[in-house]
Amino acid sequence: MTRVELDYVPRPPFIPFHKRTSRWACLVVHRRGGKTVAGIYDLIRGASACARPRPRFAYLAPYRQQAKLVAWDYLKHFTAPIPGRVISESELHVTFLGDRRVTLYGADNYDALRGIYLDGAVVDEPADMAPEVWTDLLRPALSDRLGWCVWIGTPKGRNAFYRLYDKACSDPDYYTMMLPASVSKILPESELESARKAMGRASYEREFECSFDAAIPGSIYGDLMAELRAQGRIQDFEPNPRCPLFTSWDVGDSDYCTQWLLQLDGRHTNAIDFYSAQGEGPGHYADHMRAWEAKYDAQISCHYLPHDAENVTHGSSWRKDLQDAGLRNIRIVPVVGSVWDGIFELKDLLPNFYFHKTHCSRQHGPEGRRMPSALDCLEFYAKEEVEEGHNLKEKPIHNEFSHGADGLRTYAEAHRRHMLEGTNPIALQSRRGGDKPRVLRGPGPQSYPIGFGARHMKPRVLR
């Protein structure tokens, strides 16, 4: 075979990556670190060396247009010296050395890719793709050819990419790389210092220092959770045996279903435990509630479910099915005017929370499909701007983090409606944001109403 020299000189940190023998690899690399270039070169080299007939290799980005913008020029440039290469601008693939092909794909329409086979793949920013892209598409496509796969990306919180990297670090079948800018030395220190000043600490730590813990853009509760960590409110503790336990839910059939185990302890709210599962029936969650009662040697006084637990689908509802499974003391929290009402209420309440560090850091779900922990759900629940007509509107992002955050929002909405014991106007006001409780004196000229935003409670006379 004719030897062809490609116009590629690997940056020093990527030399061990190109020499790896592992079938799987996961690279966490800072912005402008060269991970996409290294991935495209690996695909070209893999296609050139593959001994199987008609080799097929793929670069996959979250969106097809993104794949074209990010990687198409690199693929054409590095294959330019190869004699007889054929470019398809419409299909975004390059064919060379007979019938060897590298194709760019988008995960936004991954069902259209079912049935393909692959000898190797590079997956760019996998956390922005549905989990089924790997489980239902790529993994089967690599099976009969014993193909390899490389995941590359930059952190966006403790999401699916974090869990992939965390698992890969302890798996001998994976090659892993964590490459922050301060280690790579690819970018000048003067440029990093300029970026640090312009971007702010959280963005810089995430994009250039590869921090999975830095707040993500648009984080709704991230700053509040950081304050709780700094105050030592995320720690292991024993529940107060004098305070009743209750649960707060988010329900879902195909989506995650989440439950928080909570108690009101004076001005504080104790988040004692958290559970999340996917695809399970109501009986599974009823059993888990009984397991919690056995674990903590206390009965759960009430289960607060969101309004959609009353919705009837396939002849039944979550409320009815949970009752049929033996769960009692269920209360439905009525719908509020806007999801933001519940979010703002929870933001008011969070400063007086304590979170059990071990239980709320635990991830649930089968190996390889772990779901975010309770703390992850709150720290990385975020909003985005969406266009409605000619206006931009902020909207919470529905993703793997939203279900746990929505489960705790159910508690906030129940708290706002005084549905829980210990949520009278005085207790409610004192539990919000650390404000000093207002003392009602009356009756007489000193009596006054307590205002909650647009709502006002009538004056209450204490005898």
Domain spanning 12-207, CATH class = alpha beta
The CATH 3.30.420.280 domain(s) of the chain lie at: 229-423
Enter the tokens of residue 378.
Answer: 């709150």
Per-residue pLDDT of the chain (463 residues; tens, 9 = 90+): 567 788 899 999 999 999 999 999 999 999 999 999 999 999 999 999 999 999 999 999 999 999 999 999 999 999 999 999 999 999 999 999 989 999 999 998 888 888 899 999 999 999 888 878 998 899 999 999 999 999 999 998 877 888 899 889 999 999 999 999 999 999 999 999 999 999 988 889 999 999 987 777 889 998 899 899 889 999 999 999 999 999 999 998 777 899 999 999 989 999 999 999 988 999 999 999 999 999 999 999 999 999 999 998 878 999 999 999 999 999 999 987 889 999 999 999 999 999 999 999 998 887 667 788 999 999 989 998 887 777 788 999 998 899 999 999 999 999 999 998 766 665 666 666 554 444 433 333 333 333 333 333 333 333 3
The CATH 3.40.50.300 domain(s) of the chain lie at: 12-207
| CATH number for the domain whose boundaries are 229-423 | 3.30.420.280
